[in-house]
Homo-oligomer: A and B are copies of this chain.
Amino acid sequence: MNFCSDNVTGVAPEILAALAAANRGAAMPYGADAVTARLERKVAEIFETEVAVFPVATGSAANSLALSVMAPPYGAIYCHEAAHINVDECGAPEFFTGGAKLVDLAGADGKLHAGDLAAALAEAGAGIVHHVQPAAVSLTQASECGTVYSPHELHEIAGLARAHGLKLHVDGARFANAVAGLGCSPADLTWRAGVDALSLGATKNGALAAEAVVFFDRALAAAFGYRRKRAGHLFSKMRFLSAQLEAYLSDDLWLRNARHANRLADRLAQGLAGLPGARLVYPVQANEVFVALPEVAIAGLLADGFQFYRWPDAGLGAIRLVTAFDTDPADVGALLAAAERHAGRHRADRAQNT
């Protein structure tokens, strides 16, 4: 019963089937195949606008390649201090952009707030050669704290970005979970709100290894193909990337998977929040639960064999539980039952100590 991350999961059966189905006969390489051609249309339909779509295999590749056409080497990219691009990609954005600088800002609930961005931009020194030049903003949707940006929040940030000549990127490793959580259309959470490029994640939500860089500002796509190739991210047997993404976006699979994960996260949150000594650290708006528990409960759950990470960044006693498309509701039930048992001991201990 592994709640460590949604990347411990395997492949959704629909996607595995799509891989097998794509394995028929020869196909021209590097994207000149029928599946890839269909994929771009599919994405356009789902987002209700013309797009340029580039499949890649990892989220780090998607993010950094996207940013590499949005910021020059002397550019600044604004993000939350907890952003995956800032702390978990071993400097990938710096590598792909040729040394651009991530300007990381604090912000409650793992989100970049318009006011903080405005303040940072005001003192950025735009136009002054001594300073890196504001070039892009990158948000994570859903955020690293399992929260989501509302369309209104996106609008506000996008407005600031546009006013200062910055491009807006969204790291959507868990974009499906955000769409499912908000109940908005994909368009409302992207180009209608002012987003220029999206890293549309699929791996965490059922794919083997597939993400799509989606450009709403299609001018950004001009150099992307060269940069993807040059970074070793152009697959020769592209049909197998595209097939994953096609299946992912077909028959609502991406949203069905995400809703399942979100629902179970919600159940976890509700169940845990009521326990003595427990506290939800962030609002649970997607498929991640950050919760502070008494040490006896944490230790007990680990001893029972539940797998998850302690999350010191979220405060004393905090752990992170991640649900996924394939999480068994029974496992959630088992965890809640065990937690209640362990927390009960906590209550008993405390009663005794009083």
The answer, among B27, B29, B131, B233, for a CB contact under 8 Å with A87, is: B131
Q: Is A242 an interface residue (CB 8 A)?
A: no
| B230/A231 in contact, CB under 8 A | no
Q: Is the CB of B20 within 8 A of A58?
A: no
Report the Cα distance A203→B112, complex, angstroms.
41
Which residues of chain A (1-41) have a CB below 8 Å from chain B?
Answer: 2, 4-5, 7-11, 16, 19-20, 22-30
Q: Does A147 contact B (CB under 8 A)?
A: no
Residue A253, interface by CB 8 Å: no
Are A89 and B23 in touch, CB under 8 angstroms? no
Given contacts A61-B232, A130-B90, A131-B87, contact A223 B74 (CB under 8 A): yes
Find out whether the CB atom of A10 lies under 8 angstroms from the CB atom of B29.
no
Within the complex, which residue of B58, B63, B94, B203 is in contact with A233, where a contact is CB–CB below 8 Å? B58
Chain A interface size, as a band, is 35 or more
A28, B8: Cβ atoms closer than 8 Å: yes
Query: How many monomers of this chain does the complex have?
Result: 4
Q: What separation, in Å, do the CA atoms of A231 and B240 have in the docked complex?
A: 21
The answer to whether A232 touches B56 (Cβ under 8 A) is yes
Docked pose: A30 CA to B99 CA in angstroms: 23
How far is the CB of A200 from the nearest CB of chain B, in Å? 15
How many angstroms from the CA of A57 to the CA of B10 in the assembled complex? 18
Asked if residues A233 and B95 are in contact (CB atoms below 8 Å), the reply is: no
Determine the chain B residues whose CB is within 8 A of the CB of A16 once the complex forms.
Answer: 19-20, 23
Q: Is the CB–CB distance between B26 and A229 below 8 Å?
A: no
Q: Taking the complex as formed, is A64 at the interface, i.e. its CB lies under 8 A from any CB of chain B?
A: yes
A221 at the interface (CB under 8 A from B): no
A208 to B8, CA, bound (A): 21
- Nearest CB of B to A60, in Å: 4
CB–CB B233/A61 < 8 A:
yes
B11 near A240: Cβ-Cβ < 8 Å: yes
Q: Report the minimum CB–CB distance from A177 to chain B (whole Å).
A: 16
**Is B19 in contact with A89, judged by CB distance below 8 angstroms?**
no
Q: Are A10 and B28 in contact (CB under 8 A)?
A: no
Q: Is the CB of B230 within 8 A of A89?
A: yes
Q: Which of B7, B101, B209, B236 contacts A91 (CB 8 A)?
A: B101
Closest 7 CB pairs of A and B: A61-B232, A94-B99, A60-B232, A7-B236, A2-B26, A74-B226, A98-B98
Q: A residues touching B (Cβ–Cβ < 8 Å)?
A: 2, 4-5, 7-11, 16, 19-20, 22-30, 56-65, 72-74, 87-92, 94-102, 129-133, 203-204, 208-209, 223, 225-237, 240-241, 307
Residue pairs across A and B with Cβ atoms less than 8 A apart, 25 shown, are A4-B28, A7-B29, A7-B236, A8-B29, A9-B26, A16-B20, A16-B23, A19-B208, A30-B129, A30-B130, A58-B232, A58-B233, A65-B232, A73-B98, A88-B131, A90-B129, A92-B229, A95-B98, A95-B230, A129-B229, A130-B229, A208-B240, A209-B235, A232-B233, A233-B233
